[in-house]
Amino acid sequence: MATINDNYLKLKAGYLFPEISRRVRVWSEDNPDAAPRLIRCGIGDVTEPLPLAAIEALKNATDELGERETFRGYGPEQGYEWLREAIAQHEYRDRGLFIDADEIFISDGSKCDTANILDIFGDNNTIAVSDPVYPVYVDTNVMAGHTGEADESGAYEGLIYLPCTRENGFVAPLPSQKVDLIYLCFPNNPTGAVATKEQLKTWVDYALQNDAIILFDAAYSDYIRDPELPRSIYEIEGARDCAIEFRSFSKSGGFTGVRCALTVVPQSLQGTSKTGQKVAIHPLWLRRSTTKFNGVSYPIQRAAEALYSPQGRAQVAELVEHYMENARILREAAQNAGLETFGGLHAPYIWVGAPDGLSSWDVFDLMLREANVVITPGSGFGSKGEGFFRISAFNSRENAVEVARRIGNVKW
């Protein structure tokens, strides 16, 4: 008898995006004339073509694979040295941060890495997540058996939810009890919030004092405009001893369909074994990678490397600028409509307060019906997301301008 991983049965069936699709489908069937007007500002996926530097690198690398002299088979599981060097240089050393190329692991995505990282941690950790939260952090802990059942609000027994609210600027407060693993994401999806150095320092200090480890998701670091704001957790003293950082080319280089990301595991980071011994984390993640992964394809790694060439960097900056200008247009439209907005300044997401008396899903239905625009209901990211909705700036300029116009025409 083949039994299954029963933890999967605890996962909530009515997940956010299927429900959005269902409502959009029903509306489209009922309104076939209006359906072509539909604009999606829901899912966090990029829309603009890849930077030219990446395209050229992809083509050249593909040609290399077609010649005996330059053909390559399996690459290093951790990623090619030249890519890890380029990352260490441009993302870290150039900013005065000492991250070595051998502390960097190349992967096919940060979603995968933030999920797979649980492989190397014990099953008895107390785990803290923010509320609202990127659902991957929660669901992967459910799958790993780290939680009980979900309650009515969708919160799982055994997880510590840190409420992110207007009052705390959507930056997770320290927990009142001791936790061992903490997921932080800045700039944040879904709220668009960004943490200051002082705020991150309170977390680093907490982790160091409690022998906890921070799992820092910096997928949106390139969207930070203000040089005073930390783009990396390693800008905080002591973070090398308590944090793993996840970065992705998905949102910076438009690589959501290309697939390339990286995880930084400092050599000095340690966890605790069952017998109470301090054990380095880096060799565990290396072992996990070499056993369960065979690396990212050669052309893709060349494409990622090309994002650090002078042309590549200029093209990435242009791409980010495009989305951030959309964010400005959408944020101002929401503000002009009298809505309360957060985020959108250092992130491609605008987090908007629903008008009094409307739930997140009420706003979803209103926007769909009156503006023919799909947004994401905040309640789908956690109970503290109720009363908010997320507008994504990942769109063409034409669509962003049109959505802004329609937001102005909705009777709020």
Ligand X SMILES: *Cc1c(COP(=O)(O)O)cnc(C)c1O
Given the rule CB under 6 A, which residues bind ligand X?
44, 109-112, 134, 185, 189, 217, 219, 248, 250-251, 256, 261
> Whole-number minimum distance, CB 408 to ligand X, in Å?
28
- Order of strands across the sheet that contains 349-353: 341-343, 349-353, 388-392, 376-377
The tokens describing 234, both together, are: 């390693």
Contact 248, 257 (CB under 8 A): no
Burial class (CB in 10 A: 0-12, 13-18, 19+), 358: middle
Minimum CB distance to ligand X smaller for 366 or for 393: 393
The tokens describing 290, both together, are: 């070499």
Minimum CB distance to ligand X smaller for 189 or for 395: 189
- Helix 310-336 to helix 52-65 angle, to the nearest 10 degrees? 140
Minimum CB distance to ligand X smaller for 348 or for 387: 348
Contact 53, 315 (CB under 8 A): yes
In whole angstroms, what is the distance from residue 358 CA to residue 356 CA?
6
Q: Report which residue's Cβ sits closest to ligand X.
A: 109
> Whole-number minimum distance, CB 252 to ligand X, in Å?
10
Question: How many other CB atoms sit within 10 Å of the CB of residue 215?
Answer: 24
Tell me, what DSSP letter sits at residue 86? H
Four-CA torsion 321, 302, 258, 98, nearest 10 degrees: -60
> Whole-number minimum distance, CB 19 to ligand X, in Å?
19
Minimum CB distance to ligand X smaller for 181 or for 371: 181
Minimum CB distance to ligand X smaller for 54 or for 371: 54
In whole angstroms, what is the distance from residue 199 CA to residue 186 CA?
11
Q: Is the peptide bond before 190 cis (omega within 30 degrees of 0)?
A: yes
> Whole-number minimum distance, CB 312 to ligand X, in Å?
18
> Whole-number minimum distance, CB 129 to ligand X, in Å?
12
Minimum CB distance to ligand X smaller for 106 or for 219: 219
Minimum CB distance to ligand X smaller for 303 or for 371: 303
> Whole-number minimum distance, CB 276 to ligand X, in Å?
33
> Whole-number minimum distance, CB 135 to ligand X, in Å?
9
CA 82-112-385 angle, 5° bins: 125
